[in-house]
């Protein structure tokens, strides 16, 4: 542990930490990202990620730290400056990025896969990952992403599920080819030419595919689908938040598989 406490947010190490939090280009260039919180960091370590540096506020943290990484102590005022949440236990870490591909995914005999096309909001993607973890999903595939998978808002909203569920980013064309090569049926969530989700069999190898709330899925997915499914909308609105829809569809698959 560093013997000298950092007490200024103008310290170069703190400025770099904040830059990594704010800029995806900087994260890509440095091949580093930021994780806040003891629970999230533990999930990250258990997933096999390499920790570069931990910024540790002993006045706030509830547990001591041990590990083969650099530990830098920071003052409460600096912690408050760099932390997005006040409930992250005084721990913020810089972590080395890892690039996962479709070939890195290891599926069971009857896999359940969640596919998201061009989802833009990190909070929505994080919430979907939480549902995917809870439903025991084999993998989450993000196609043509509009946010990077190491966005701090995504990591926070997933409460670490980005590390507990295998998650890969790729193009829609790559994902479609991969799903078909592995014999995984493609169920696209869409209003047009669709049937109710609970009338569709999800017990075999299945991928549930969802697009953005604004534009839905592209034609490539509609044409590749084995079935089109929808959630009944009985009010005046025609869609749910993507994370809510994902949870409903995933738990229908869970129900059918029990």
Tens digit of pLDDT for each residue in 171-201? Answer: 999 999 999 999 999 999 998 889 999 999 9
The parts of the chain modelled with pLDDT lower than 50 are none
CA distance 178 to 4: 51
**Measured between alpha carbons, how far is residue 19 from residues 27, 37, 42, 76, 144 in Å?**
8, 18, 23, 19, 25
The CA angle 191-194-195, to the nearest 5 degrees, is 120
Question: What's the pLDDT tens digit per position in 55-72?
Answer: 999 888 876 667 778 899
DSSP letters of 76-107?
HHHHHHH-S-TTSTTEEEEEE-----GGG---
Percentage of the residues of the chain whose pLDDT score is greater than 70:
95
pLDDT of 239 reads 80
The pTM is what?
0.91
pLDDT at 38: 86
**To the nearest whole number, what is the mean pLDDT of the chain?**
91
pLDDT at residue 213 in the model: 72
Domains and CATH numbers, the chain: 12-96 (3.30.1330.30), 102-257 (3.40.1280.10)
Q: Angle of helix 122-134 relative to helix 242-257, nearest 10 degrees?
A: 10
Cα–Cα dist 192/195, whole Å: 9
Nearest to 165 by CA among 193, 210, 129: 129
Task: Give the pLDDT confidence of 223-233 residue by residue, as tens digits.
Answer: 999 999 999 98
| Dihedral sign, Cα of residue 30, residue 37, residue 98, residue 134 | negative
Q: Using CA atoms, how far apart are residues 160 and 237, in angstroms rounded to an integer? A: 32
């Amino acid at each position: 542990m560093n013997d000298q406490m950092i007490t200024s947010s103008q310290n170069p190490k703190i400025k770099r930490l904040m830059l990594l939090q704010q800029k995806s280009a900087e994260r890509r260039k440095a091949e580093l990202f930021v994780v806040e919180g003891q629970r999230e960091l533990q999930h990250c370590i258990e997933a096999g990620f390499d920790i570069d540096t931990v910024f540790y506020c002993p006045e706030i943290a509830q547990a001591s730290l041990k590990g083969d990484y650099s530990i830098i102590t920071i003052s409460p005022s600096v912690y408050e400056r760099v932390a997005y949440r006040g409930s992250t236990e005084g721990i913020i870490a810089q972590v080395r990025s890892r690039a996962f591909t479709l070939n890195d995914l290891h599926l069971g005999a009857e896999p359940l896969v969640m596919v998201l096309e061009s989802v833009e909001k990190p909070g929505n993607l994080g919430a979907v990952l939480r549902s995917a973890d809870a439903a025991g999903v084999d993998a989450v595939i993000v196609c043509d992403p509009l946010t990077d998978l190491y966005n701090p808002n995504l990591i926070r909203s997933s409460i670490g599920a980005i590390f507990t569920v295998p998650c890969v980013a790729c193009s829609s064309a790559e994902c479609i080819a991969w799903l078909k090569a592995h014999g995984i049926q493609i169920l696209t969530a869409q209003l047009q030419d669709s049937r109710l989700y609970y009338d569709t069999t999800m017990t075999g190898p299945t991928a549930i595919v969802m697009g953005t709330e604004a534009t839905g899925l592209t034609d490539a997915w509609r044409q590749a689908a084995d079935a089109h499914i929808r959630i009944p909308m009985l009010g005046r609105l025609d869609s749910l938040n993507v994370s809510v829809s994902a949870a409903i569809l995933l738990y229908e698959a869970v129900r059918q598989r029990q």
